[in-house]
Chains A and B, each alone.
Chain A
Amino acid sequence: MKRLAFLTVFFCVLSLLLAPLVLAQTKPTPAKEAAKVAVKTGAKDAIRLGGIWDFAGPCYMLSESAVQGMRIAVEEINAKGGVLGRKMDLIVRDTEMKVDVGARETKDLILREKVNFLIGPCSSGVALAVQVVHSESKILRVTCMANTEAQVVDKFTPYVTQVVPNTYMEAVAATRYLHKKYPNAKKFCTIAPDYEFGRREEAAFEEEIKRLVPDAEILYQAWPKPGEKDLTSFITAIMAKKPDAVHSSFFGGDLVAFTKQAAPYGFFEKIPFIALYDLPVFIALGADAPDGVMAFGRGCFFMDPNPKMMEFVAKYRKARGAYPDSWAVQAYDSVYLIKAAVEKAKSTDTDKVIKAMEGISLDSLRGKFFIRPLDHMGSVPCYQGIIAKDPNYPFKVWKDIVRVPGEEVWRSEAGVREVWKKTGVTR
């Protein structure tokens, strides 16, 4: 049987020689140049922005997009003369999606790089740990991706402001959309990644659906671990319950896996479904994206194709060779928010900027929104739609798009204060 051995080795070696050919056509990832590149103007009085992002796991891609969005904004601002005549520098640090590294790198940005403001991160868990650190050092952070409500509600500190719809807002808006499309649905299942983000969104969904449909029942809640590759058991468990609709806060790779695994079961034909179908998922799925299924999101270009947004799309495509997703859009908005607040305060002193920022209104890529003074929550819009093909793009997008202004779905000030009573926030 030596022949067998030699034969396999021969093929292995042969294939190995082929490998470089294959690797050569992996597109030179824009990641390599975008991810950690800072913007260093060299100006002595430059306003320094620190990007604290997670370049690991599911957050990797999203962090890259965000940094690219930030970069475009910074370069634009610098080209037009900067803020208060001062240029902007951008320094990016990696948390490796680890809480301890995140806390340390935040300290690095504050102590060594002496940043004036922070933007990021992606992971909600990292965000909360980072929040303690920069709040103690009195540096303001804009969160445009990690969207756990805990940042501005439960664990509020004045040094945070949020321009991404928080978990409560996003889920409430999606729930109302689901209910409008399927007003007779009474029995529901949920499936969400088992961590802070997923749990919060499903909790908000449950709260809202029970408000809209008093006799609503949640039959079964699936909690796969984030990154779970095999969701079949969950899918069959859900289908066995025969729900009227399913709400999900799946996104990214998990949503891709779920979609591919659920489709052969006829899931999408049988059960109304809503999840975070955003651009990266559409690009990955290609034709596998299920037409007619409901989706929610935070502001990808096709969700809000206003003139300002389309201008940004053109710039982004030129710089990165790709279309901007929600993450890039929100990161871009974050930089402009800081600019607006600094200009209003006529200073970069954190306390003055925070005061200026409270109540400020921004004309962003996603339309106008303002920052609520009480909890620093931006009245940022939530989007929902139906998945559909579009001849203009090589990937599927949405139709029947609904844009819900943030102030229609966020917790009332009284509601926020109620939570604060429980968690001990005094304001």
Chain B
Amino acid sequence: MSFDILFNQFLSGIARGALLFLVASGLSLTFGVLRVLNFAHGSLYMLGAFISYSIWKWLLIPVVGFYVATLLTAFIMGGIGLLIEYYILRRLYARGWPEQLLATYALILIITDIVKWFWGGEFLSIPRPKPFTGAVFLFGFPFPSYNFFIILLGLALVVFLWWLVFKTHLGDIIRAAAHDRDMVSALGIPIPWLFTWIFALGAMIAGLSGAVTAPYGAIALGMDIEIIIECFAVVVIGGMGSLPGTLLGALIVGQVYSFGIMYKPELALAFIFMVMAIVLIIRPWGIFGRPER
């Protein structure tokens, strides 16, 4: 196995990891603060992909069209996140986590049919936007520029979230609320609204990742189920509710898959679940998670 082949697989793994991080970070954020494991996160991602397609098709502005569509999708999904949290999740905080889990499970069913209703069962595709249509050359080997775009976006999200959580006042509140919501509430901070905002942010990230995935591959029904399991693997391995953990988890899963493909393609998927199970057995709260709850 020569270096450039290994390096290429490594890069593929990074690209996959970046994509996984984009999606999983929203899930991790929601779990970290709200303590809700949002089963429907994948559905929000899928909905974002379909919505971005429609906006793109509607605008049909060359080059800029895609970026506008992506941004707009993120906000629309944020709005939908607001609605979901306010009307559905909020009423369930007083109830046990099983009910919350089930409500998000029910949302998967509802959102799938909504997508089926509006977009039918067709698979759709958006071409890659300029300037990310071709490939860049690393060590003489081509690497698709769009994959680079995804990696850059992943990095940007890491930086943004880090800034938000550690460098802003709002971030202090978020971290405190993740630690002890009753205390923060006692300090006069409107926890319900904070939660609504966080959930909306998670949904925005989901929508953004869906929009970004659209030119990467195909948009189709079933995207939601597929991605949510991998997201679970990522947050479990990295630590539920920990953003650096999610990043690490995403990178790990990306590489396990990428190299698994080369050596034992039939088992690549099984590897992921095995790693997930092993982490849960040895250290249930993940690499960077905290042993509470």
- Chain A residues with a Cβ under 8 A of chain B: 1-2, 4-5, 8-9, 11-16, 18-19, 21-23, 25-26, 29-32, 55-58, 60-61, 63-64, 194, 221-225, 227-237, 240, 252-254, 256-257, 260-261, 264-266, 280, 284-288
Contacts and interface: CB of A to CB of B under 8 A. Distances in A.
Nearest to B215: A260
A264 B12 CA distance: 13
Q: Is the interface of B mostly helix, strand, loop or mixed?
A: helix
A393 to B, nearest CB: 17
22 contacts: A2-B170, A15-B72, A19-B76, A19-B79, A29-B118, A29-B122, A60-B116, A227-B220, A229-B217, A230-B217, A232-B144, A233-B9, A233-B12, A233-B13, A237-B262, A253-B123, A256-B218, A257-B217, A260-B127, A260-B128, A261-B144, A280-B123
Contacts of A256: 123, 125, 217-218
A55 B226 CA distance: 18
A232 B15 contact: yes
Contacts of A31: 120-122
Interface stretch (B51-59, B87-95, B233-241): B51-59
A12 B121 contact: no
Given A8-B201, A23-B54, A264-B146, A16 B80 contact: yes
Nearest to B217: A257
A64 B57 CA distance: 23
B41 interface: no
Contacts of B123: 58, 61, 252-253, 256, 280, 284
A18 B76 contact: yes
Q: Is the interface of A mostly helix, strand, loop or mixed?
A: helix
Interface string B81-100: 11100000000000000000
B200 A230 contact: no
A232 B13 CA distance: 8
Nearest to B58: A25
Contact of A232 (B12, B134, B168, B266): B12
Given A19-B79, A31-B121, A284-B124, A222 B197 contact: no
Contacts of A223: 265-266
Contact of B135 (A5, A55, A265): A265
A61 B216 CA distance: 21
Contacts of B218: 229, 253-254, 256-257, 260, 284
A260 B259 CA distance: 22
Contacts of A18: 72, 76
B192 interface: no
A230 B72 contact: no
A256 B125 CA distance: 7
Nearest to A260: B217
B222 A227 contact: yes
The 8 A-B residue pairs with the shortest CB-CB distance, nearest first, are A60-B121, A16-B79, A257-B217, A29-B120, A264-B144, A15-B75, A253-B123, A1-B170
A288 B127 CA distance: 7
Nearest to B82: A12
A12 B202 CA distance: 13
Given A56-B221, A257-B218, A233 B121 contact: no
Contacts of B5: 236, 240
B217 A25 contact: no
Contacts of A236: 5, 8-9, 11-12
